[in-house]
Amino acid sequence: MTERTFSIIKPDATRRNITGKINAVIEEAGLRIVAQRRVHLTEEQAKTFYAVHAERPFYGELVGQMTAEPVVVQVLQGDNAVARYREVMGATNPEQAADGTIRKLFALSIGENSVHGSDSLENAGIEIAQFFTDADIVG
């Protein structure tokens, strides 16, 4: 089934100027980038986005990393896009990520792991709506 998922290319990647390399992996995996925008997240935006992790010990570090440099927010479209993108990203910890995945190829650490992708279709809808209107998405 054709789905849309939400993606963030994180500050560790924008800082290293590798957003194009990451987009190439996304596109080669059959996902279409149907909306994309560069944004420097405010602390409030990052805290809201990662509110589910508020009680975790790494929350402060995560918010700090996500606001350190601009990010690229994206909507990706394709067959089973939510699960497919999770596959393409690889495991949260790059040491455990499979060969060919974005995190295996580019991530620096479990925190600076280059990309975010929605973990469910429901969350994808919620996350997309935080950054894009329907008019921004051209499928």
Ligand X SMILES: Nc1ncnc2c1ncn2[C@@H]1O[C@H](COP(=O)(O)OP(=O)(O)OP(=O)(O)O)[C@@H](O)[C@H]1O
Which residues are annotated as catalytic? Answer: 116
Q: How many CB atoms lie within 10 A of CB 6?
A: 26
Contact 62, 119 (CB under 8 A): no
Q: How far apart are CB 97 and ligand X at their closest, in Å?
A: 10
Quick note: the x/- pattern for ligand X over 100-139, rule CB under 6 A, is: ----------xx-x--xx-x--------------------
Could you say which residues in the range 59-98 bind ligand X, by CB under 6 A?
Answer: 61-62, 92
Largest CA distance in the chain: 39
- Residue ranges of the annotated binding site for ATP are 10, 58, 86, 92, 103, 113
Does the footprint of ligand X cover residue 34 (CB under 6 A)? no
Q: Which two tokens stand for residue 28?
A: 């080669």
**Residues 116, 8 contacting (CB under 8 angstroms):** yes
Give CA–CA dist 63/43, Å, rounded: 7
CB of 62 to ligand X, least distance (A): 5
The token pair that represents 133 in the structure block: 């209107």
Interface contacts to ligand X, rule CB under 6 A: 53, 58, 61-62, 92, 110-111, 113, 116-117, 119
